[in-house]
Amino acid sequence: MARKRKGDPVDGWVAFDKPLGMTSTQAVAAVRRMFNAAKAGHGGTLDPLASGVLPIALGEATKTVAYVMDGTKTYRWQICWGESRTTEDLEGAVTATSPVRPAAAAIAAVLPAFTGAIRQVPPVYSAIKVDGERAYDLARAGAAVELQPRVVVVESMRLLGQPDADHADFETVCGKGTYIRSLSRDIAAALGACGHVSVLRRTACGPFHEDGAISLDKMQELGQGPALRSLLLPVETALDDIPALALSESEVRRLQSGCSVSLLRVAACVPLADIAADSIVRAMDGRRLVALARVAGGEIHPVRVFNTHRPEE
């Protein structure tokens, strides 16, 4: 018999503004405690030396984590010229030095090579698994780690400014799996320089943005109660790009029991032209998310069922 989870059945997302020095695991634990939630997870790791938007899923929202992790991220970050480091950021030991301090025109000239679909070798100090072991564990143990290049998508890259000769500030919009530390390493190499990430902040992660993120200090100030619960975003926040279908009570019951629903019935309320074949849709009972479902063969088939409570009207 499965052991019952401790905590309350809290469902929803928290746009958490992670501070420097905190791991993503520590952030999840802190938010889970504040809400006394039975279950929690996050929508994309941030290193301890990075701050910013860390979406944290509670309860049934954990079923939508993959949609956030697959979403677009925006980072504001800084290169410190002059030193290469083992971890490609401030944490690592210096491995090489250079007197080269690239000018703005030279930096701008190489950025197009780092935009679009590019091949990128992840940092050795990363969570990627090599023969079942995390790369950073192997690297810390002194093992030689060789990671293969991966194709990642950088939607945009721009130089924001140079506060001094030793630093340059950037904004990058990118897709899943992109490492900013690798970008700093490769941009420096393309300029004949050494460099590492000295500041890294995520300002957006999927549908979650910096202007709506809440700090741990603010959460602690609010305390555990209605004010804190008001910060909770709906489970379907992570699914904004997925079309919604309104279902009747009987159709909801069928999906929740694992049965399919006739597309022709639903088409009485939604034009068939708006429902693409083999697409994923959000099945809704009023404002309540019931399931993620796939449209195929004239039927709506449940893919992931949610057991959320009906929102108060």
Known catalytic residues are 47
Three-state DSSP at 212 gives helix
Neighbours of 52 (CB within 10 A): 22
Distance CA 300, CA 205 (A): 30
Ramachandran region of residue 29, left (φ > 0), alpha (ψ -120 to 50) or beta?
Answer: alpha
The residue ranges of DSSP E strands in 44-110, in sequence order, are: 51-58, 73-81, 83-85, 94-97
- Cα dihedral: 117, 134, 51, 113 (round 10): -20
Q: Which two tokens stand for residue 158?
A: 């721009």
Sign of the Cα pseudo-torsion (36, 15, 172, 152, in order): positive
Give the type of residue at 215: S
| Nearest alpha carbon to residue 236 among 24, 16, 63, 69 | 63
At residue 92's C-alpha, the angle toward residues 76 and 160, to 5°, is 20
User: Cα separations (Å) of 14 from 62, 168, 232?
Assistant: 11, 32, 5
| Nearest alpha carbon to residue 199 among 12, 5, 20, 18 | 20
Torsion angles phi and psi, residue 289, rounded to 5: -75, 125
